[in-house]
Structure 1
Amino acid sequence: MRHLGRHPTPILSLAPLRRPSLRYVVLYPGILFRTLFSAMPFLLPLLFQLGFGLRPAAAGGWVLVYFCSNLGLKPFTSAILRRFGFRDVLLVNGLLVTLSMVACGFAAPDTNAALLVLILIFAGATRSMQLTSLSTMAFADIASNERRAASGLLSILQQAASAAGVACAAFSLSFFQLLDHSHGTGLAELHATFFIAGGIALVASLGCVRMPRALGQEISGHRAA
C-alpha cells in the first residue's frame, strides 16, 4: 500500500480513492455489504439442507425465490434512487438488510411456507437494491482519466470481498460448532451466523450516515434539499 501510494506510475493506482463515491463503495461501508451478500449463496442452501433437512432440489427451489426477487426489483431501482438519492437509499435499505438477516435467523422447519417466501423475497429485494446502488454510485465523481484505475480497484476489492464472505461464514459456523460441542452444522449454528450477519449489516449501514446527501446526484437525478 505504501509503495502504491508513493510510486509515480504504480501498477494499481490508489488515487481514485480520494473520490468519496469510490471510497464509500470499495472500502467502508461497501466492502462489508459485499462480504455479507457473497455469503448468502453459501448460507441459504445450508440452511435448507442441513437446518431444514430438505433435499438439494427442494433447497434449490427456496434459494431460487431469493434470487428471483433480486431480479424483480431491478426495474424500480432507478426511480427509487431518483426520488431519495444514494445516501438515504443506502442507509434505509441497509437497515432493511439488517432486518432481513435477523428474519433468516428465525426461520425454522415449522415456519409457515408463505411467511418463508416473504422473508426470502424481502431479503433478495433488499440485497438487490443495496448492490445496485453501490455499483451505480461507484463512478459518480470519478474523472475520465481515473476510470481505468478506479475500475481495477473496484474489481479487485469486489473479488476479495466475495472470497471473504464465504470464508467468514464458514469460520462463523465452525466457531459456533465448537461452542456447542456439535459434530456437524445444524440449525443453531446457522441461526447464530445469520444474527452475526445482521450485526455486520447494521455496522455497514451506520457507515452510510456520513455520506453527503448530494453524493452522486448527477447520476441518480436526485436533488438534495
Structure 2
Amino acid sequence: MTVIVTSIGLLLLYILHARRTPNPLISLDLFKTRTFSIGIVGNIATRLGTGCVPFLMPLMLQVGFGYQAFIAGCMMAPTALGSIIAKSMVTQVLRRLGYRHTLVGITVIIGLMIAQFSLQSPAMAIWMLILPLFILGMAMSTQFTAMNTITLADLTDDNASSGNSVLAVTQQLSISLGVAVSAAVLRVYEGMEGTTTVEQFHYTFITMGIITVASAAMFMLLKTTDGNNLIKRQRKSKPNRVPSESE
C-alpha cells in the first residue's frame, strides 16, 4: 500500500511539473492523441489478464498438478512458439478486419482462453495442456502487435520518441501489475474453506479471464477507420514488420 500511495503521489507531482515546464521530458500533450490514450489504457487493462499466465500456469502445474519445476517451466514453450508463428499473419489479419475489430475480438478470445484453463486437471493428457497454450500464444502475439502499432499510429515525429518511451514503460508496469493482481486473487481464494489447491487456481483463472474480456470494452472506443493509415501504407509498399511487444 505504501508503494502504491507513493507512486500515485510521484505521478501527481510529475503532472504538476509537466504543466509548468515548457519542455517536459514526457509531454502531457501526448495523451490528447485519442489512439495513443486508448492504446496505453488498453495495454494496462489487457495485460492484467495476460500477465498472469506465465506466473499462474507453471505454479498450478507444479503445486496443483505435481509436475517437476523444470517440466512446469518448459510448458510455457508452446506459448512462445505460437507467438513467433503468429507474427507472420498479423498484418494480413489487420488488413482484413481492421484494428478495432481485431483488438476487440482477439481480447475476448484471450479472456476465454485464460478462463478455460479452469477446465484443466492433473488427469488430462499433456497435449490437451499444450494446445491451449500454443493458441493463446498466437492470440497474445496478435493482440500485442496490434495494440502497440495503434498506440503509436497517430503520433508526430516530434512526440513519437516520447510516446514510444511511455509505451515501453507501460508494458513492463502492466505485466508486473498482472502478476501482482493474480497473486492477490489467488490469495483470496486460498482463504476460502472447502476448496482444493487446484480449485483455487481454477477460480483465479476464471477471474482473470473475466477481467480480460471486460478490458475489450476499451478498444470499442476506437473508430473503424483508426489505423487505416498504417494498413494503406502496408498495401502500397512492404515496409519493415510492425513492432512486437518487446520492441
- Within-5 A mapping of 1:177-192: 177-180=190-193, 186-192=197-203
CA-to-partner distance for each residue in 1:14-73, whole Å, 9 max, x for gaps?
Answer: 21111122111111x221112322221111111211121100222123211122111111
Task: State the match for 2:227 in structure 1.
Answer: 216
Report how far residue 143 of structure 1 moved. 0.8
Task: State the match for 1:118 in structure 2.
Answer: 131
| TM-score, length-scaled by structure 1 | 0.90
Measure the CA separation in 2 of the matches of 1:4 and 1:197.
36
Report how far residue 205 of structure 1 moved. 0.9
Measure the CA separation in 2 of the matches of 1:6 and 1:156.
21
Report how far residue 137 of structure 1 moved. 1.5
121 and 216 in structure 1: CA distance in 2 versus 1, 3 angstrom threshold: same
Q: What amino acid does structure 2 have at the position aligned with 1:52?
A: F
Measure the CA separation in 2 of the matches of 1:209 and 1:26.
14
Fraction of identical pairs, as percent: 24
What are the ranges of 5 or more consecutive residues in structure 2 without an aligned counterpart? 1-11, 234-247
Measure the CA separation in 1 of the matches of 2:221 and 2:103.
11
SS of equivalent to 1:207 = helix
Measure the CA separation in 2 of the matches of 1:54 and 1:160.
30
Task: State the match for 2:143 in structure 1.
Answer: 130
Q: Which residue of the other structure, out of 34, 39, 43, is the alignment partner of 1:20?
A: 34
What are the ranges of 5 or more consecutive residues in structure 1 without an aligned counterpart? none
Task: State the match for 1:9 in structure 2.
Answer: 23
Q: Are 2:109 and 2:139, in contact at CA under 8 Å, matched by a contact in 1? A: yes
Q: What amino acid does structure 1 have at the position aligned with 2:164?
A: S
Q: What amino acid does structure 2 have at the position aligned with 1:20?
A: R
Measure the CA separation in 1 of the matches of 2:89 and 2:59.
31
Report how far residue 181 of structure 1 moved. 7.3
Measure the CA separation in 1 of the matches of 2:121 and 2:109.
20
Report how far residue 111 of structure 1 moved. 2.1
Is residue 62 of structure 2 the alignment partner of residue 34 of structure 1? Answer: no
Q: Are 2:39 and 2:148, in contact at CA under 8 Å, matched by a contact in 1? A: yes
Measure the CA separation in 2 of the matches of 1:116 and 1:158.
27
Q: What amino acid does structure 2 have at the position aligned with 1:221?
A: K
* Paired residue total: 220
Task: State the match for 2:110 in structure 1.
Answer: 97
Measure the CA separation in 2 of the matches of 1:114 and 1:161.
30
Moved over 3 A (4+): none
